[in-house]
Structure 1
Amino acid sequence: MNRKNLAISGLVVGVLGLLFSFLLAVEYFGIGTDNVAGAACSALGGGDSCLKVAESSYSAIPGIPFLGNVPIALLGFGFYGLVTYTFFTIYKSTNSDEVSKLISLLVPVLVLGFILDLILFGISVGIIGTICQLCFITYIVTISLLVILYLLWKTEGKPKLDILSSIKEGYATFGLVFFFSFSVGFASSKMWVKGESSNTLATSRGMDSKEIQTKVNVYFQEPTLGINTAGSPFIGKKDAPITIVKYADYNCGHCLHTSHILHTVLSEYDGMVKVVYKNFPLDGSCNRLMQQPRPGATSCIAAMAAICADKQGKFEPMYRGLYDNLEKGVAHSGASVVNLGNLIGLNVNSLKTCMASKEAQNQLNAEIDEAEKLNIQSTPSLYINDRKIESGTPNPVFLKTLLEQIIQKM
């Protein structure tokens, strides 16, 4: 194959990478909805594997200023956009020296992409416990691009690769192309999801009545767990006969979606349901069950702010404010929670004292200890009347069916 044919091959494969990265971003932003990404994953034989990956804490970088949670798939979109642009430039070029420089630039980019794919594959199999079909295709795409680049290098007569010099000359252009591709992917995937669903609230995911009833039957077979709700903040009537316990992280987009669903549940089942809130920050800074601390310890700050707002009788406005900030892309920090405290009428000096106190830390640790006994590994994790349901954003149709049947059995 000559240079132009190989460049065209790289272009085509790069566009495939863009397509599947876009679908993965749609799956993340449209969690719980009937979207094209979920349909594509199912068509490829993956079932809900992509949904399971999207709902894990490894699917996004949380709390990016002005953007909120950014799915890892969009970094892939930027990566494939950059690679596609480079192969297009190679196709148009008639200068062998320019082609050699572009090959030198692509080598570290594709090797880094391959290493990251290996890491993500290990997380998917070893930690999340599934293989997302759409993710797997992107791994194949990256390997294919490496093969095409190697063949191109051979076709060009195996020129000496001057990687450092090429990076110095091309990093600004590559950075701009990556940023442009990332921005296009972010905006288009968000707009696509908004177009498919009337709002950001997760809706039904296409489960038929038989599937829903099967899940309900599984719930009634689950053992009761003895979850301690004493002293935990709740929304709803204290003596409501149905108690939903929610373990969550304030940087978790799926927890945000679930908060909308539970808000609707509380409205529709007023007096029948209360929701008890517990913390499981996905941050090693304050959660001993998490391996890595996150920069800024934003999840930990938010958890402590919620605990301490509750001590002033202001849990609900703090809870809603923290998720509002998440939606707006405002990173949780000491300053942001103090601003929120002022907004909802807290004594901010007491708030700051409480957040630094051993008492609040002990309460958070107790919730994490209980989460360990319940084998919680991701958020949100929900329990209804002391029995667990499947972790992740709940299907509202399933939830409504389950609540109706619990009420019937009373």
Structure 2
Amino acid sequence: MSENRSASKLLPIIATLSAMGAAIAIWQTRLYHITRSGMSEFNSFCNIGQTFDCTAIEISKYSELPGGFPLSGLAIAGYLIILILSFFGLSETYRRKSRTYLLAFTGVALFFSLVYLFIMIALIGKLCLLCLCVDVINVALFALALKLPKEEASEGSGISLGHLAGTVLASMLVAFLFVKGLDPQGEVKKEDLDDLVESVMHTAPIAVPIPADAPMIGDPNAKVTIVKVSDYECPACKMGASAIHPLFKRYNSGVRFVFINYPLDQSCNPNVPRKMHEYACEAALVAICGAEQGKFLQTYETLFDHQADFATGKIADILSIIPGIDIQKLKDCTKLPSTAEKLKRDIETGTKEKLNIQSTPTFFINGKKVEGGLPTNLWVEIIDRMLKQ
């Protein structure tokens, strides 16, 4: 009787922890899809400092199985299996063998936690808060399974192989439905996405003149160069920025990103016949001056993140949230003739005689023109193919 009471206390805790683990795995699956569809934000709640970066984990090649199935989908299935087994353990009829199976599945979960912790530290160089929460849960689940009393042979018929197989299959089906249901690209045919990739790969490249002092992120000697021509007030450019943001974290070498300003407003761009984005020219000058202080990436992402706060003469003040930036120096910089000359040179790069920019954002990947941008996962596929060429 005391053993039954012990099990009745431990099994609800196991059930609760496995439900929590499943909830975290579902959230990780959502984050995986958001990151790879190009809908992620620049600053995720679990991106803290230089160490904790969920975006870097989710965009890495270690977050998925062949075929693009997220590892977190397997975690959903695993936690559901443990949850159902804990319910079996509460039943006098099916209690026998529940401890054995719980030890097996929680042991597998703990093993994968240790392996992935090694991958995060040694191969990715970042940690994920959600992954660490899962690790804590897996340690606790295995410890609780070890404390479960051994079943007596007389305790009911136990969990048959049929019950176990049904539990595994049902859990995998539910996990599959979550993975597919959380995918914002789920309604898009794979053939259509493949066609987009092939159209880029078969586009004839052109020579892209890159200003010597254009802002750059990544490997200066990269095999793949992506040039982004954009306008800081353009909503589509913000979407394009979100789509390539995870790429900065996936590719530590082999890829570089170059940025060219092309404000869509006649106040600074003679190629635009009318007034369109009234703050775009000022924002471009601010971005140039942010780069002068070695803060280009922070400036770039902050401006896109605060498009709604743009106001004449006030855009530089938005950057006050960036640590270490000198706002007065930046404001003085925006008024310098040399800054206006840099913007003019960027705009000239986008003219019909050179890049022939018709809309923003426009990307050039190794000279192949991509208008409007692509989802992050398609960028990954194209870049990986070019790196292998």
With normalisation by structure 2, the TM-score equals 0.49
| Greater per-residue helix proportion | 1
TM-score between both structures, scaled by the size of structure 1: 0.47
Q: Which has the larger radius of gyration?
A: 2
